[in-house]
Amino acid sequence: MGSSLHYCSSVLLLICLLQLASCCDYFKGSWVIDTSYPLYDSLSCPFIDKEFSCQKNGRPDSQYLHYRWKPTGCDLPRFDGEDFLRRNRGKRIMFVGDSLSRNQWKSLTCLLHSAVPHANFTIETQEEENLSTFTVPEYEITVMLSRNVYLVDVVKEKIGRVLKLDSIEEGDKAWKGLDALIFNTWHWWNRRGPSQPFDYIEVGNNTYKDMDRLTAFEIALNTWATWVDTNIDPTKTRVFFQGISPSHYNGTGWNEPDVMNCRGQKLPLSGTTYPGGLPVALTVLKKVLSKMSKSVYLLDVTELSLLRKDGHPSIYGFGEMDCSHWCLPGVPDTWNQLLYNALL
């Protein structure tokens, strides 16, 4: 009788552990103070761009540096730079997207530098190809950044610059033969005026002066998804999507309607849910990913980043109000912590 009860208890314990593991969502949780963070010192990382280096640019507060992402029901394993380098020895990893991809790429270079500070590192930029390359020769690892803000092509033609929603020739040349790809796009889709890098939008044989940008975003994502389904061998290449990195330009999103932007924000939001809800672009992204035949891992960073209204450079970047990018050290370090655990 006793051995039978012991067996039943062991089985029940195993079931509980399996259920706990299956229900632990790394992307649902809250931010907690942890004085062992940040994982590196911005003053000792030689790779941080000026626009992300909030401490060097005079940001006076420092509590934003000491937050750790705590998933509900489990702990997110700490980023281990040496382990990352060992496991990815000889591999080629590429971030593809806009300046938010650059934000994450720069974060990863600092995380790896702090883990093995005496290793040899090189960074090279090929401006004509919009490609930056970070290498650690000792580990034969290459981590690249390919700037491609829409993922689909923008082509100069007689009528002007044309955003081709169903063409991906530029990416087709750059994205093949890699061990991991981390994609991102969204922030440029609503640009208008002088900062808009196209004059027309083309779909098939139809050319438009403009169209609904969320619709254009979805068409482009479907073009990208078709490319991945057609060209990627998941046994050789892991594919990730960074998710939608949010901005904090309007305090109504966090129930402070009198707050105009992120300037002066020193604390993250408490709890696990952002009051203003999630952006529609995330719904579109998840819809496209759900229809794909190849596996793409969504680094669903949107809500955890929405909770960090304190994490932006504000005036401590280029001097202009920046509530889109993130200070380093900061939130992108957690994105890379999530990427590290996904790669495991």
Q: Is 99 a catalytic residue?
A: yes
Largest distance between two CA atoms of the chain: 86
The pLDDT of residue 319 is 79
Provide the residue type at 223 as one letter: T
Instruction: Spot the catalytic one: 98, 300, 322, 333.
Output: 322
The pLDDT of residue 280 is 97
Q: How many helices (H) and strands (E) does the chain have?
A: 8, 13
The pLDDT of residue 23 is 61
The pLDDT of residue 9 is 46
Backbone angles phi, psi at 192, to 5 degrees: -140, 165
The pLDDT of residue 20 is 43
Residue 21, C-beta contacts closer than 8 angstroms, at least 6 positions apart: 74
Provide the residue type at 157 as one letter: E
| Count of Cβ atoms closer than 10 Å to residue 148 Cβ | 23
Instruction: Spot the catalytic one: 187, 248, 312, 325.
Output: 325
Residue 41, C-beta contacts closer than 8 angstroms, at least 6 positions apart: 114, 329
Q: Is 322 a catalytic residue?
A: yes
Instruction: Spot the catalytic one: 99, 132, 167, 324.
Output: 99
The pairing of beta strand 122-126 with beta strand 160-164: unpaired
Architecture of domain 26-343: 3-Layer(aba) Sandwich (3.40)
The pLDDT of residue 92 is 98
Distance CA 24, CA 272 (A): 14
**How close are the terminal C-alpha atoms of the chain, in Å?**
42
Tokens 């992300």, located at residue: 52
Among candidates 328, 324, 337, 335, which has minimal Cα distance to 99? Answer: 324
Angle between helices 99-115 and 331-343 (to 10 degrees): 70
The pLDDT of residue 24 is 83
The pLDDT of residue 292 is 98
The pLDDT of residue 74 is 93
Q: Which ranges of the chain would DSSP assign to H, the alpha helix?
A: 2-23, 81-87, 99-115, 169-174, 213-231, 280-290, 302-306, 331-343
The pLDDT of residue 21 is 45
Instruction: Give the pLDDT means over successive 10-residue stretches in the chain (344 positions).
Output: 44 46 82 97 92 95 98 95 97 98 98 96 90 97 98 97 97 96 98 96 97 98 98 97 96 96 97 96 98 97 98 93 98 98 92
Residue 87, C-beta contacts closer than 8 angstroms, at least 6 positions apart: 343, 344
Distance CA 213, CA 277 (A): 20
The pLDDT of residue 266 is 97
Please report, for residues 6, 42, 276, 315, the alpha-carbon distance to residue 217 in angstroms, rounded to integers and kept in the order given: 56, 35, 22, 30
Residue 152, C-beta contacts closer than 8 angstroms, at least 6 positions apart: 163, 164, 165, 166, 167, 168, 171, 220, 223, 224
Instruction: Round the CA-based radius of gyration of the chain to a whole number and report it.
Output: 21
